[in-house]
């Protein structure tokens, strides 16, 4: 696509759902981290809340695979969006993307969704804490505040293994050199012999945090990184009496995706074996296909569809990614989601089928 196609006045905007996007750029950030940049073939403005994520729908070895990645770019540059991916030993999807996704490829994406974002928790002073490739959502937030000249005092603390693993290193330094309200602190676990390093060394700890941000107790904190990193940060904050209502973390990968589904399946099976009466069952009707089924209490809308041979796309299975979103046109459900649906979608009647249990008879437009 060339820029002659772009018209800022008539360009459509993105909304939560499934979209085809084309990879237009692949940038090697560090030796094992690459950014993939996407645009739509029809000019599209990719608006989202900085910190949110998308779910890629990929076909790997003939299998449909869905995987969620936070957006690393900022909606202040809305004609494209980027995700930044690190190669992981044994990581099926991330390695496949590194080895196969190239400029010109078209893939479906779902989203954007996610509660971990800088818009829903406005603050005058923020502290970004990131570890490794967990930098992506907080980088999106920082880029957004930087580009929009937001009156937000930012302290950005990033931890990496070694100096050569620091993602967006030059851009972070550039931002810190341009505005007074962006303070950058880099922490490296170690550095190699002969490698110059003037930043912090080791792991983020109490004395370091006190030096970096003496007022950290007053800041809105956004944290993303490996689970042990986030746990260490939480312990540190709790030990200091931090009001955890002002602490936000990206929970990707923290919980095995299928656990919730399995628990519900077992509950439903137990209920079925426990001699249910007809009155206990709920009727789930899929009006788009004219199919319906009676299910036991505890079974999800997604399970009901699967029993009928209807395959609603599903990725995380725990209400994070928004992939399994369907429109409910009648009845009530109990939905235990984890941020995979927007308030606007809820108001329009959408539900996440993987984590919605009918409270009575329901009708789904599918």
The neighbour count for residue 76, using CB atoms within 10 Å, is 14
Q: Considering the rule CB under 6 A, would residue 352 count as an interface residue with ligand FES? A: yes
CB of 293 to ligand FES, least distance (A): 19
Q: Which is nearer to ligand FES, 129 or 315 (CB)?
A: 315
Cβ partners under 8 Å of residue 104, min gap 6: 22, 23
Torsion sign, CA atoms 85, 86, 90, 95: positive
Count of positions on this chain that bind ligand FES (CB under 6 A): 13
Task: Give the x/- contact pattern for ligand FES in 305-324, rule: CB under 6 A.
Answer: ---------xxxx-xxxxxx
Q: Which is nearer to ligand FES, 115 or 323 (CB)?
A: 323
Both structure tokens of 308? 């009928």
Q: Which is nearer to ligand FES, 49 or 302 (CB)?
A: 302
Q: Which is nearer to ligand FES, 37 or 320 (CB)?
A: 320
- Tell which residue, 37, 97, 36, has the closest CA to residue 67: 97
CB of 190 to ligand FES, least distance (A): 37
For ligand FES, the binding residue among 109, 184, 354, 364 (CB under 6 A) is 354
CB of 22 to ligand FES, least distance (A): 24
Say which residue the tokens 């725990």 belong to: 318
The neighbour count for residue 88, using CB atoms within 10 Å, is 13
Torsion angles phi and psi, residue 282, rounded to 5:
-115, 140
CB of 74 to ligand FES, least distance (A): 24
Give the three-state DSSP class for 92: helix
Radius of gyration for the alpha carbons in the chain, expressed in angstroms and rounded:
22
Q: Which is nearer to ligand FES, 126 or 315 (CB)?
A: 315
Which spans of this chain sit near ligand FES (rule: CB under 6 A)? 314-317, 319-324, 340, 352, 354
């Amino acid at each position: 696509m060339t820029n002659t196609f772009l018209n800022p006045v008539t360009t459509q905007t993105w909304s939560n759902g499934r979209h085809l996007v084309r990879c237009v750029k692949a940038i090697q950030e560090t030796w094992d981290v690459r950014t993939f940049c996407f645009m739509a073939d029809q000019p599209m403005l990719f608006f989202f809340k900085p910190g949110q994520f998308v779910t890629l729908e990929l076909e790997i070895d003939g299998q449909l695979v869905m995987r969620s990645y936070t957006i690393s770019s900022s909606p202040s540059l809305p004609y494209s969006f980027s995700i930044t991916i690190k190669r992981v030993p044994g990581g099926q999807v991330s390695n496949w993307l590194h080895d196969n996704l190239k400029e010109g490829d078209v893939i479906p994406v779902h989203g954007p969704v996610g509660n971990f974002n800088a818009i829903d928790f406005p603050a005058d002073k923020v502290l970004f804490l990131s570890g490794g490739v967990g930098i992506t959502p907080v980088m999106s937030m920082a880029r957004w505040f930087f580009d929009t000249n937001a009156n937000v005092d930012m302290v950005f603390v990033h931890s990496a293994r070694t100096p050569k693993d620091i993602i967006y290193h030059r851009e972070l330094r550039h931002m810190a050199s341009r505005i007074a309200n962006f303070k950058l602190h880099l922490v490296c676990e170690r550095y190699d012999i002969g490698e110059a390093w003037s930043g912090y060394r080791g792991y983020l700890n109490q004395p370091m945090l006190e030096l970096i941000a003496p007022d950290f107790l007053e800041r809105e904190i956004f944290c993303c990184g490996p689970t042990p990193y986030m746990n260490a940060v939480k312990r540190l904050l709790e030990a200091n009496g931090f009001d955890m209502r002002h602490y936000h973390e990206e929970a990707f990968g923290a919980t095995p995706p299928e656990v919730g589904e399995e628990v519900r399946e077992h509950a439903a099976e137990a209920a079925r074996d426990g001699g249910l009466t007809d009155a206990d069952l709920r009727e789930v009707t899929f009006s788009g296909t004219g199919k319906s089924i009676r299910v036991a209490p505890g079974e999800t809308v997604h399970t009901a569809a699967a029993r009928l041979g209807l395959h609603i796309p599903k990725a995380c299975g725990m209400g994070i990614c928004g992939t399994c979103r369907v429109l409910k046109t009648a009845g009530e459900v109990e939905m235990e989601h984890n941020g995979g649906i927007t308030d606007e979608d809820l108001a329009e009647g959408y539900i996440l089928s993987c984590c919605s249990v009918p409270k009575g008879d329901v009708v789904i437009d599918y």
